[in-house]
Amino acid sequence: MFSNIDILTDRQIREQQLRSAIVSSLNAVPKTLPDILLWEDAGHDLFEQIAKSRSYYGAQADREIMKDKIDEICQSLEEDAVLIELGAGSVPHTGMVLDELCQRRMKTQYLAHDLTQSTLDHSLCRLASELRSDRHKSFLKMSGIVGTYEQFFEWLSKTDELRGRRVVVLWLGNCLSNYSDAEFPNMVDALMQSLSWSGAASSTLLLAVNECPGADVMRQAYDSPDGSSVAFIANALRQANRILGTEAFEYEAWTPVSSINSAGTSITWKFQSKQEIQLVIDERPVTCKVGEDIELITINKRGEADVAKLLAHSRAELVDTWRHQSLPWSKCIRERRYSLLLISHQVGV
């Protein structure tokens, strides 16, 4: 166990909330399931297999950009800065940044956040074993926080730990792609607002997004021929059964189906019923007709222009873009401060 992990909500309470969300989303029209079910326990291992595959181009692009821009990232973190990683998952790229900061003898506090405690624990233990020299020990402090994004933002707005310090936030792995156009700027705004309230001296967000690479590339990445995407998606039904405490979903009765929208900008995963199905949840029947869909997730591809447009009325300002070869990929977004003086304190990356 990694010793320094805070848990914002007790697992039992979180699972009760998730249970209520499942019940209400199955009773809605059209029926849906919360996509957060993908990240329950085994989902992380299944995702890691996908992320390692060649067709999942996003993970490789994130890594190459981080490697390429490591100098700028280190320069943006001045002495005693805080590096926060949102939805950190298996923390696939951050070790190299932390190592480089220690080589440059820069004191850094690294705070990793994720929804899933076991994943965060495993990732931080792995990082601690990789970064265990005396130099790492003297320059690096690592800790973790478990909770939803909303819970973490609330924690950020109340903590004293960031007061007067420079903060750089990494949000990698295209984590915001499952949020709609209406939700996307609200999420960025909520983060910026909570950093403002925390009293951080300045904050920079490195957000990985990516434009639609074409329907074929998107299908290979998100519905891979080796079946790993289907296994990842199907695991959500297993997790729904676990949270509901009953085998409400029989796997053989459902087909996971993906579809790309006509503009080629998003891919949606649904479960399609093979027969008429009566789910019994909380002793109340939920009927699904033959061929009826339960939507799980839509992954939206957004390019630089889309992101700039969505953030036009938010407190974040797009200040730079780092691209991966042919794929426009990563964006650097810096907070737009209300005070000019504070803007002049910010160090651009």
Ligand X SMILES: C[S@@+](CC[C@H](N)C(=O)[O-])C[C@H]1O[C@@H](n2cnc3c(N)ncnc32)[C@H](O)[C@@H]1O
Closer residue to ligand X, CB minimum distance, 82 or 146: 146
**Closest separation in Å from C-beta 60 to ligand X:** 11
| DSSP state for residue 1 in the 8-state scheme | -
**Environment class of residue 264 by beta-carbon count within 10 Å: exposed (0-12), middle (13-18) or buried (19+)?**
middle
**Closest separation in Å from C-beta 18 to ligand X:** 11
Total Cβ atoms within 10 A of residue 337: 18
Asked if 34 is part of the footprint of ligand X (rule: CB under 6 A), the reply reads: no
| DSSP state for residue 226 in the 8-state scheme | T
**Closest separation in Å from C-beta 34 to ligand X:** 9
Closer residue to ligand X, CB minimum distance, 112 or 349: 112
**Closest separation in Å from C-beta 287 to ligand X:** 29
Asked if 39 is part of the footprint of ligand X (rule: CB under 6 A), the reply reads: yes
For 175, residues 6+ apart whose C-beta sits below 8 A from its C-beta are: 86, 87, 208
* 175 token code pair: 């984590």
C-alpha to C-alpha distance for 147 and 155, rounded to whole angstroms? 10
Site string for ligand X, 107-146 (x = CB under 6 A): -------xxx------------------------------
Residues across the chain:
349
**Closest separation in Å from C-beta 345 to ligand X:** 28
Asked if 176 is part of the footprint of ligand X (rule: CB under 6 A), the reply reads: no
Is the preceding peptide bond at 30 cis, omega within 30 degrees of 0? yes
Site string for ligand X, 60-99 (x = CB under 6 A): --x------------------------xxxx-x-------
Asked if 149 is part of the footprint of ligand X (rule: CB under 6 A), the reply reads: yes
Asked if 243 is part of the footprint of ligand X (rule: CB under 6 A), the reply reads: no
* 60 token code pair: 């490789």
Closer residue to ligand X, CB minimum distance, 179 or 271: 179
Closer residue to ligand X, CB minimum distance, 173 or 213: 173
**# residues near ligand X by CB under 6 A:** 17
C-alpha to C-alpha distance for 254 and 285, rounded to whole angstroms? 17
Q: Are 268 and 262 in contact (CB under 8 A)?
A: no
Enumerate residues 212-241 that contact ligand X by CB under 6 A: none
Q: What is the DSSP string of 127-158?
A: HHHHS-SHHHHHHEEEEEEES-HHHHHHHHHH
Q: Are 157 and 193 in contact (CB under 8 A)?
A: yes
**Closest separation in Å from C-beta 147 to ligand X:** 7
Applying CB under 6 A, among 148, 157, 159, 255 the residue interacting with ligand X is: 148
**Closest separation in Å from C-beta 4 to ligand X:** 19
Q: For the chain, what is the largest distance between any 2 Cα atoms, rounded to a whole number of angstroms? A: 64
**Closest separation in Å from C-beta 201 to ligand X:** 25
Q: In 3D, which of 159, 164, 157, 143 has the Cα closest to residue 85?
A: 143
Chain positions contacting ligand X, by CB under 6 A: 36, 39, 51, 62, 87-90, 92, 114-116, 148-149, 172-173, 175
